[in-house]
Structure 1
Amino acid sequence: MNVFERSFGEQARLSREESHHLVRVLRARVGDAVNVLNGEGAVGVGRLIDASIPAIIRIEERKQYTRPEPQITLGICIPKGKTFDSLLKKITEIGLFDVCPLLSERTEVKLDAETSAKKAEHWEQTCIEACKQSSNPFLPKIQKPSTLQSFLEACDADLKIVASLEPASQPLLATLRPSKRVAMLVGPEGDFSPAEYSQIRTCGFLATSLGRNVLRVETAVVYALSVIHAASLR
């Protein structure tokens, strides 16, 4: 069983929410083995010693994992509906460094400051649940929603690629090279506008094809991340 707690030493005192899930939902009992993830690569291997709320876990061994390379940044135009939640779960299971939700000309989702803050909190919790489910010791950082232009100006990755439907796009494998940091840009369902593609190319992004078929946003992202990870192991 996995739980999440950002800070722990010889013991981990869980939050009310984590305690409830561990004891009431998973029905953990005193003496049960529990792994504590902090989202930064540390995993505490321990046992439940107090099944009340807050629950307490005695840490018997602490493991520290090194974040794998390349560190992948995903810039993605926010899809409508519950698609983004489902997408966050899948990409957290696969693994990446951070996620930058974007607003572009053709993005249908509209967010104000208050809504953005609530969404960011919800998105992070979604990723935490996926970390626990997949035993991923690294929690992706969810950046504040921003404009495409802001993302392009701030991006300083070694390799920058954009999933593109343009005829001149190169196959994904052909654009990959050994890199410590990779930025992957995925547009909205209606794709980026010609003006946006011009900005993207000016900022050094390489147009890459994910195959001849037109993929849904969530399919495109999972496919691209899987290929990038597989290529890094060669």
Structure 2
Amino acid sequence: MQRYFVPRDNWENDQVYIHGDDAHHISKVMRFKINDKVICNHPNGQAAICTITSFDTNLIKLAVIEWLNEQVELPFQITIAQGLPKGDKLDFILQKGTELGAHSFIPFQAQRSIVKWDKKKTEKKLNRFDKIVKEASEQSHRNKIPIIQDIMAISDLVHESRNYDVKLFAYEEEAKVDHEHSFGTLVSNLKEGQRVLVCIGPEGGFSTNEVDLLKKNNFTAVRLGPRILRTETAALYVLASISYHFEELRC
């Protein structure tokens, strides 16, 4: 069943109102008719089966039929802090990371990030990123859309990390000599409900200064398996591993 995320102001008791791009998608792309059903997601994480009662290209009116009791979110709030990669790799990370259950993303300017974003470019990209995670959330039947924070310097990221229970960064050079720093070992020690921050470097990895800064601020270096992963693969490895451990093995 097609799913749409509806802003809080568009809910009124058992009535739901959809407009803008989603209204166009319902009427022109999906070609739904009156009495057809869709799932509408409320910002509080709940979802309801709704039936279309009236519509035109700009406004769709729906009535709630049934509230769903579903749980599809990871048992942790996993934030991926991603050093800015080249090209459209961040688009890929956001899309697939959303499908795999990330709670939020923090793009950060690392010392070895080749790309540099100015203010105008950042605003444009963040608008596109919001659309990417919204569509990925709908496609994967998420109950919540991941948050994309503004781009940060690594010093700002360190300050932001004070809000997290567990702080990790992928750094195979140090972690490979200490098997207790394997990602699998650390995952097995996580407790449900924790806020977890995982920091991934850009293509060139972290600089020595960045490694020292992260370690001084209680980040733990981890290795992500015995092979070296590309930056666009690392975050997906993290999310898939956590999902398998806590959602599949314990189901």
State the TM-score, normalizing by the size of structure 1.
0.93
Q: Match for residue 213 of structure 1?
A: 227
Q: What's 1:14 paired with?
A: 18
What SS does the corresponding residue of 1:190 show, helix, strand or coil? coil
SS of aligned partner of 2:175: coil
CA distance, structure 2, for counterparts of residue 125 and residue 91 of structure 1: 14
- Are the structure 2 counterparts of residues 132 and 110 from structure 1 closer, same or farther at C-alpha, using a change threshold of 3 Å? same
Q: Which residue is 1:59 aligned to?
A: 64
Q: Which amino acid aligns with 1:91?
A: G
Count of residues paired in the alignment: 234
Tell me whether 1:23 sits opposite 2:27 in the alignment: yes
Identify the match of residue 83 of structure 2 among 77, 81, 87. Answer: 77
Distance (Å, rounded) in 1 between the aligned partners of 2:218 and 2:242: 18
Task: Give the C-alpha shift of residue 191 in structure 1.
Answer: 0.2
Tell me the SS of whatever aligns to 1:58.
Answer: strand
The answer as to 2:241 corresponding to 1:227 is yes
Report the counterpart of residue 114 of structure 2 in structure 1: 108
Distance, in Å, in 2 between the alignment partners of 1:231 and 1:183 is 17
Cα distance change on mapping 1:71 and 1:190 into 2, 3 Å: same
**Any idea what SS the aligned residue of 1:55 has?**
strand
Paired amino acid for 1:142: I
Counterpart of 1:87 in structure 2 is: 93
Mapped contact 1:41–1:65 kept (Cα < 8 A): no
SS at match of 2:157: helix
Unaligned runs of 5+ in 2: none
Conservation of the 8 A alpha-carbon contact between 2:174 and 2:221? no
For the pair 1:162 / 2:169, whether they are aligned, the reply is yes
Q: What does the per-residue CA deviation read over 1:50-102, in whole Å, with 9 as the maximum and x for residues that have no partner?
A: 23121111111234767642111111112121111121111111112211010
In the aligned structure 2, how far is the partner of 1:74 from the partner of 1:86? 13
Cα distance change on mapping 1:17 and 1:218 into 2, 3 Å: same
- The separation in 1 between residues aligned to 2:66 and 2:47, in whole angstroms, is 8
Contact persistence 1:162–1:206 (CA under 8 A): yes
- Report deviation, 1:138: 1.0
Q: TM-score, normalised by structure 2?
A: 0.87
Task: Say whether the 8 Å CA contact 1:47–1:58 is kept in structure 2.
Answer: yes
Partner of 2:199: 185
CA distance in 2, matches of 1:34, 1:125: 20
Mapped to 2, the partners of 1:84 and 1:136 lie a distance apart of: 20
Identity %: 27
Superposed CA RMSD in Å reads 1.7
SS for the counterpart of 1:74 is strand
Give 2:47's aligned residue.
Answer: 43
Native 8 Å contact 1:159 1:182 kept in 2: yes
Q: Distance in 2 between matches of 1:39 and 1:24?
A: 25
Match of 1:200 among 190, 205, 214: 214
Moved over 6 A (4+): none
Counterparts of 2:53 and 2:32, CA distance in 1? 10
Amino acid paired to 2:156: S
For residues 111-159 of structure 1, the C-alpha deviation after alignment (integer angstroms, 9 at most, x for no partner) is: 1222222221211111000111111011111000011111012213111
